[in-house]
Amino acid sequence: MTTRQRTPFAARLLQRLIPSQDHTALLGDLQEERRRGRSTVWYIFQILAAIVVGCWRDIWTHRLLTLRAIGIGIAALVVYFFAAGALLNFVQRRLYEGILVGNHWIYWRERPQSWIFVRYVVPVWVHAGFLFSGWVIGRLHRVHGITFAVAFASVLAMLLLALFVVASVRVAYATPHPGDTNISPLWILLCVVIGGWFATRRAEAA
């Protein structure tokens, strides 16, 4: 009974994330192994491995399309940060000057020691941008699921690693600034993939 419930979920998962490939044989083998007593951890690992291998095959088969998707991801980030940055600056400026709500004025007069804006608003704004870029990539390449969102996230990972190495060399002995943001490189990459996930079709509708 448990295997019968998991197999449809695995099928939907693979077909949603990697819809351009046929997973019937693989899912049949996994179901057979589960009936022979394979553990849940093994089963989940095989599904994740199939997703990774499927993404790699799709990227290798459609190299030019992968480059186009990476370019689209970069363009989406530029558009987002330009538009959202202008909106964020406008809202911040209006809050500083004051907004009249009813009979009360609302102000944002941030003190030098207050880092609420930098620590909370900016990280949400930044992560939303990468979520948006992943969604755009996935939405324009829905036939390939999250493949190209993963490719874009991989390029970003290499870029972030290079920037981290350079920054580590330059500021090896620098004291952390109290206004450091809560922007996480790991969450940036996850946001791209999650954005691609949101853009994919459900397996039943594919």
Residue 49 zone, left/alpha/beta (φ > 0; ψ -120 to 50; rest) = alpha
CA-to-CA distance for 26 and 194, rounded, in angstroms? 25
Tell me which DSSP letter residue 111 carries: -
Rounded to 5 degrees, φ, ψ at 99 are -125, 130
Is residue 110 a contact partner of residue 116, using CB atoms and an 8 Å limit? yes
CA-to-CA distance for 198 and 206, rounded, in angstroms? 14
pTM of the model: 0.76
pLDDT digits (tens, 9 = 90+) for 36-81: 887 878 878 888 888 888 899 999 999 999 999 999 999 999 999 9
DSSP-derived 3-state class of residue 169: helix
What pLDDT is attached to residue 61?
92
Arithmetic mean of pLDDT, 78-107: 75
DSSP-derived 3-state class of residue 120: helix
What pLDDT is attached to residue 190?
94
Is residue 94 a contact partner of residue 152, using CB atoms and an 8 Å limit? no
pLDDT digits (tens, 9 = 90+) for 107-163: 665 544 445 666 777 888 899 999 999 999 999 998 898 999 999 999 999 998 888
